[in-house]
Structure 1
Amino acid sequence: MTTSRFRLVPMRPRDPGEERRAASTLELFFDLVFVVAVSIASVQLHHALSEGHVLDGIVNYAIVFFGIWWAWMNFTWFATSFDTDDWLYRVLTIMQMGGVLVLASGIQPAFDDHDFSVLIIAYVVMRLALVAQWLRASRSAGPARRATLIYAGGITLVQALWLASLLLPRSMFFVALVVLVAAELAVPIVAERTGTTPWHPHHITERYGLFTLIVLGESLLGSANAIIEALHDNEGLGSLIGLASLALIATAAVWWIYFWPPHHRAISSLGRSLAYGYGHYFIFAAAGALSAGIEVEIDVLTGQGELHQPWASFAYTIPLAVFILGVWVLGIRPRADRIVNAVVPLAGVLVLIDPLIPVPFALTALILVVAVAVLVWRRPLDQAV
């Protein structure tokens, strides 16, 4: 590998067929800061739901999680194409990590006061650090040079508009937010249609799997909190232990469901890759919201929440249903037979409506166990014997 006199490696496109390509230690380090951001967003969603601010909490969570998810996803797709792991690449990546931590500090003001200024400024810092990466990549990108310049220019323009949006009155800010989110989503579509950057299917889907594990870890935290609460509340001991068991079963089941299909086959073309990448917003957001839903149920069982049954139970059944249906659409449906393609979406629907049935804990667990049992019985089509 050649280096310059500044010990920099030319940022040439990586080989999409590179053998044994795996997540780097820098990428794993990068993911750690998102644990903080996802955790804080989940906690704030929990507080909003428990206080009865359901719509406001969901909207704020969707906005905040978009910033978290989009920053993570853009770095991930850039890294699969141009990762050099030299000192400048590492420094710019660490700058993005710092932006994530500052973004995390702006999540509570966004929920409490609809003050998105800290969150937006931190987000812009992260995005501009990535612009520097794209500009550097453009020098050695070859056929992908035009795409790298469109990425750099498009991202810069949108960040300027994000900063300008801070000057708008609150009544207009949310309209601008929708427009700017659409603009962010449009940049990769325009860039990739002018000069596709290479991506490594196994590397990308490994990164998505690792991030899924991060957000699912939040639901395990909810399970742990349920056990802790059970130790201090003898009156509700049975219900809290039941909820703790459900949290563990639900987390294990959705993990099983997510990793059943061979995800790398889902990004074989640009259109499918965009659908896979963008669709994961709902999967990741649902997994992050699952722990908030479990905590809401704990509040109800201990008499501390404003929500009442059956509505409180929807706080965890809706994320479960969105996760299951999202994974089915993006990963399972094209690789499964008729039985799996009937059972998995049915499980998602049954979990969703479970709170309307008298015994939600046991029934939710049973539905998920049956879905997993069917996946054990049936194999993906390209792995069938």
Structure 2
Amino acid sequence: MQPMEGPESLVAPRHATWLELFFDLVFVASIGVISHGLSHSHDGHVSLKQLTDFVLQFFPIWWIWASHTLYLNRLDTYDRVQRILTLSVIFLLINLSAMFGGNVLVHTSEFILVYTAIRLLIAFMYFWSQFGGGHLQSYARQMCVATLLGALISCGALAFAGEHRVAVFYLGIVLEMALVAFVSRKIRLTRQDRKHLVERIGLMTMILLGESIISLVASLQDRAGETPNLIAMMFGFILIGAIWWIYYGSFYLLESAREIRRGITLLYTHLIFAMGLVMLANLIGLTMRDEIDSESFRMLTLFGLIFFYIGKQVSYFKAIPPHRINNVVFTLTCVSIGAFSTYLPNPTLALVGVTFAMLTYVFMHYTWTLPKDVSAYLEVSGKARRC
């Protein structure tokens, strides 16, 4: 006889809605526009400025996705008002994406105005949720205020110019993120909400991996009529497969991990994880097209691997204590092998080395980490399926 798991066991499983999936697709399309500047080199060189511009442009788009995801995770009723407001956010996000380019925040006011309009829509969604009843009315009211404050500060950047404009704009985002984390401190996700949040993050990652495949195919098309770099193509695909395996191999644990209480850590760390994933995807494309020098390869590899692993491992470090030592050791091993690989004679061989580093992590993780019993840190005792 199976033991009852409490009232939540009677609740139907909650999954991402079709509208959420649509939102994810638009978000990833926006990321594709942002990463365009990172996917092209100048005489084989990718500058630090290109990388910095990518990070700065990625941040506000990710925060739109993350804050909207957080709202739907806790207050979604899938009613007509929420659908209309979400579609309005999507429409503005599409327009925002069209404004990307070098120094976009320095030279345009439209970007800040459209971004502010999106924040105001999300604030209104929280305001509207106050009238829906339930125990989260106070939470909705506080989140509305936090979102408004962040929006007003970011919009206040219009009063400045140059670097000061950029600083004030991002100050609004960082302050809002801090306020959201503070307001959420008393929230405890139900099992269904946690599974929904993990699913949304996992789906977003899967779509980003799909973008990596699109980049791989596009790189082949760019060399139509030429002999393709078969080694880079093969190991580029193996690298993407290894990334999938590393990410999803133990992802099921997060759905039931007791320490994923509010989801803030899991959500926020995926900012740098997603940036690292996009960097590695562009690294593969540039190598396949023979458009990257060793110095640029080294920069993208180090930033990509460090961002990828930090973003992935923090949640596991917090939620699954028995995995901590192994995760740290394996991460350092993989990053070290990848770093040494960048000193091989050319980027193609270096890509082979980075792929070997990822495969090494997969082997060590499945051999020494996953066999450990972590059931004491999960809310369910049933066996979970591994990828």
Q: Deviations over 1:18-59 (max 9, x none)?
A: 441111111111111112101011112223676756222222
Cα distance in 2 for partners of 1:116, 1:285 equals: 24
1:207 is matched with which residue: 200, 206, 211? 200
Q: Which residue of 2 aligns with 1:11?
A: none
One-letter code of the match for 1:280? H
**Are the aligned partners of 1:354 and 1:363 in contact in 2 as well (CA < 8 Å)?**
yes
Q: Which residue of 2 aligns with 1:293?
A: 283
Cα distance in 2 for partners of 1:349, 1:308 equals: 20
One-letter code of the match for 1:168? F
Q: Which residue of 1 aligns with 2:52?
A: 59
Q: Deviations over 1:108-149 (max 9, x none)?
A: 2546x8435333222222222111210111123543222211
**Are the aligned partners of 1:49 and 1:296 in contact in 2 as well (CA < 8 Å)?**
no
Residue 95 (str. 1) matches residue 88 (str. 2): yes
Q: Which residue of 2 aligns with 1:263?
A: 254
**Are the aligned partners of 1:82 and 1:137 in contact in 2 as well (CA < 8 Å)?**
yes
Cα distance in 2 for partners of 1:120, 1:161 equals: 11
- Percent identity for Structure 1 against Structure 2: 20
Q: Which residue of 1 aligns with 2:161?
A: 169
1:23 is matched with which residue: 13, 16, 22? 16
Residue 281 (str. 1) matches residue 278 (str. 2): no
Mapping for residues 226-237 of structure 1, pairs under 5 Å: 226-234=219-227, 237=228
Q: Which residue of 2 aligns with 1:381?
A: 372
Q: Which residue of 1 aligns with 2:61?
A: 68
The structure-2 alpha-carbon separation of the partners of 1:179 and 1:337, relative to structure 1 and needing over 3 Å to count, comes to closer
Stretch of structure 1 that moved more, 28-37 or 307-316: 307-316
For structure 2, the 5+ residue unaligned runs are 1-7, 376-382
1:348 is matched with which residue: 317, 335, 356? 335
The structure-2 alpha-carbon separation of the partners of 1:103 and 1:50, relative to structure 1 and needing over 3 Å to count, comes to farther
CA RMSD of aligned residues (A): 2.8
Q: Which residue of 2 aligns with 1:159?
A: 151
**Are the aligned partners of 1:103 and 1:120 in contact in 2 as well (CA < 8 Å)?**
no
Residue 47 (str. 1) matches residue 37 (str. 2): no
Q: Which residue of 2 aligns with 1:7?
A: none
Mapping for residues 76-225 of structure 1, pairs under 5 Å: 76-108=69-101, 110=103, 114-193=106-185, 196=187, 198=189, 200-225=193-218
Cα distance in 2 for partners of 1:83, 1:50 equals: 49
Cα distance in 2 for partners of 1:127, 1:49 equals: 36
**Are the aligned partners of 1:257 and 1:327 in contact in 2 as well (CA < 8 Å)?**
no
Q: 1:374: Cα distance to partner? A: 2.7
**Are the aligned partners of 1:106 and 1:119 in contact in 2 as well (CA < 8 Å)?**
yes
TM-score (norm 2): 0.83
Residue 319 (str. 1) matches residue 304 (str. 2): yes
Q: 1:183: Cα distance to partner? A: 1.0
**Are the aligned partners of 2:15 and 2:199 in contact in 1 as well (CA < 8 Å)?**
yes
Cα distance in 2 for partners of 1:310, 1:53 equals: 9
Name the count of aligned residue pairs.
359
User: Residue 107 of structure 1: SS of its match in structure 2?
Assistant: coil
User: Residue 249 of structure 2: SS of its match in structure 1?
Assistant: coil
TM-score (norm 1): 0.83
Cα distance in 2 for partners of 1:92, 1:68 equals: 17
Q: 1:164: Cα distance to partner? A: 2.1
Cα distance in 1 for partners of 2:164, 2:210 equals: 36
Cα distance in 2 for partners of 1:26, 1:278 equals: 22
**Are the aligned partners of 2:232 and 2:352 in contact in 1 as well (CA < 8 Å)?**
no
One-letter code of the match for 1:228? Q
Q: 1:285: Cα distance to partner? A: 1.2
One-letter code of the match for 2:365? L
User: Residue 135 of structure 2: SS of its match in structure 1?
Assistant: helix
Q: Which residue of 2 aligns with 1:331?
A: 316
Cα distance in 2 for partners of 1:103, 1:380 equals: 46
The structure-2 alpha-carbon separation of the partners of 1:119 and 1:232, relative to structure 1 and needing over 3 Å to count, comes to farther
